Structure 1
Amino acid sequence: MSPILYYGVPSGCSFGAIVALEWSGQPYRLARVNMPDDMQTDAFAAINPVRETPALATARGDVLAESIAILNHIGALPGTLEAGLSFAQGTREFDQLNRMLAFLNTTFFNSFASLWWLLEHESDDDTRRALTEYGRARVVRAHQELERMLGDKPWLLGQRRTLADAYFIGIARWTKYHSVVDRRDYPNLQRLFDQLEADPAVSFAHAIEQQRPTTSAGRFEGEIGIAESLAARRAA
């Protein structure tokens, strides 16, 4: 079976894994997970008991959760190393990629945590004000650090796009929900963001999330429902 990526909408961080699969040139399917309702179902719990996205049903039948595990799995697929999207484990380049993915998954991703909480929960004015300022400070610091790490390089790790760039774009777009920074204050990040937004794989991932007609630049084999995917895995 082709791998199945369970991606969350709206605007889940699984966006980066869709981009990475497009770049990999390997066959894959997608299963849409409407957050939070679909995550609370028994069907999705059978895929990921933690009830979070993304999750990946691999070609060999295993199920992976957590973005870093999924991206590193994609990075080891045939052709991905040759494309420069990832690197052989044990090399300096792999260590640098893993370090960047870890930064994006912790400092960058988590800087938005309090802001997402405010968006999804009712709170009094004092709580809202305190969490907004706390979130703003964390998002600003994360952008400052990433701006410094990127510098004038064309991509996060240098001359070639990698899995880190795919993961970055899925998180960087969250500023449209939370007006706590202006990306134009970080010209290197703005340049990278614009470059990625013009990429066919990123345009494809946006269209998939928004359920607009689109054409894959990779080997996308279509969407499958959550229940249907479980039946297909049992049959396989």
Structure 2
Amino acid sequence: MEPILVYGHPAGSSMGLIAAFEWLGLPYRLCRVDMLGEMREPGYAQINARHETPALITPAGRPITETMAIAAWLAARDTDHRISYSPESAEADRMWQLLGFINTGFTGAFSPLWAALEMEPPNPVLQENLRIWGREGVMERHDKLEAITGNGPYLVGESPSLADAVLIGVARWLDFHEVADAQRWPKLAALRRRLETDPAVIFALAIENGETPVGSGSFKGHVALADVIKRYGRAAA
């Protein structure tokens, strides 16, 4: 069977991994999960005990969680180095370095903003403090990423890699949370514009929005979450 990427909506970080599958050209399926509803239900713990996305069901039927683990799974199958680099190369070192930073400190800086947005019951004072803290952290992490971003068209090399895929899934949160004008960070803004016009990213965004776009041909259709849980659910690590 094809691998199944379990992706979240709305505005899930996993959107970038859909683009990565498109760039890679490996046949795959998708499972759509409402992060504000289905993901929080007890049954979803059989796919990810932490109630998070993304997750990947391998062709062997084994669930893999965590973005870095899924990226490593994709890189191991990228024999033509379409979205990664030879493991012993300087480019591979840089890709994993940037990917690690984006997936940890950069992504994590948005956590207070999401906590404020989703807080139930509302606590206006705490929510405002979380927003102040979150905006400061997001801007500081953008400053750091801008400083280590090179002058090439993508984060590494002349074509998008897994690092770009993970970035584009998260970078749009800057606008969603109205933190600051993206042009404050010129290199990142230019990279975002380049990625946002890429056919694979356009396809991934359309999928996330519930549309039925035409992609590269690698996408083989959706699988219902209930079916994924029934067939592949377990006490996921």
User: TM-score, length-normalised on structure 1?
Assistant: 0.91
Greater alpha carbon shift after TM alignment, 93-102 vs 169-178: 93-102
Q: Distance in 2 between matches of 1:213 and 1:49?
A: 30
Partner of 1:27: 27
Whichever residue aligns with residue 114 of structure 1, its letter is P
User: Any residues of structure 2 matched to 1:86-105 within 5 Å, and which?
Assistant: 86-105=84-103
Structure 2 residue matching 1:30: 3-state secondary structure? strand
Q: Structure 2 vs 1, CA of residues 131 and 232 (structure 1 numbering), >3 Å: closer, same or farther? A: closer
Q: Distance in 2 between matches of 1:227 and 1:10?
A: 19
Partner of 1:149: 148
Q: Distance in 2 between matches of 1:218 and 1:70?
A: 21
Structure 2 residue matching 1:5: 3-state secondary structure? strand
For each residue in 1:106-126, what CA deviation from the matched residue of structure 2 results, as whole angstroms up to 9, or x when unmatched?
Answer: 11101111111111112223x
Q: Distance in 2 between matches of 1:184 and 1:109?
A: 19
Q: CA deviation at 1:42?
A: 4.1
Quote the sequence identity (%): 39
User: Any residues of structure 2 matched to 1:26-45 within 5 Å, and which?
Assistant: 26-45=26-45
Partner of 2:6: 6
Partner of 1:198: 197
Partner of 1:117: 115
Q: 5+ residue gaps in structure 1? A: none
User: Any residues of structure 2 matched to 1:24-103 within 5 Å, and which?
Assistant: 24-77=24-77, 80-103=78-101
Please provide the CA RMSD for this pair: 1.7
How many residues end up aligned between the 2 structures? 231
For each residue in 1:137-165, what CA deviation from the matched residue of structure 2 results, as whole angstroms up to 9, or x when unmatched?
Answer: 11111111111111322111232321000
Greater alpha carbon shift after TM alignment, 163-172 vs 96-105: 96-105
Whichever residue aligns with residue 20 of structure 2, its letter is A
* 8 Å Cα contact 1:149/1:156 also seen in 2: no
Partner of 2:169: 170
Whichever residue aligns with residue 46 of structure 1, its letter is Q
Whichever residue aligns with residue 140 of structure 2, its letter is R
User: TM-score, length-normalised on structure 2?
Assistant: 0.91
Q: CA deviation at 1:231?
A: 4.6
Partner of 1:188: 187
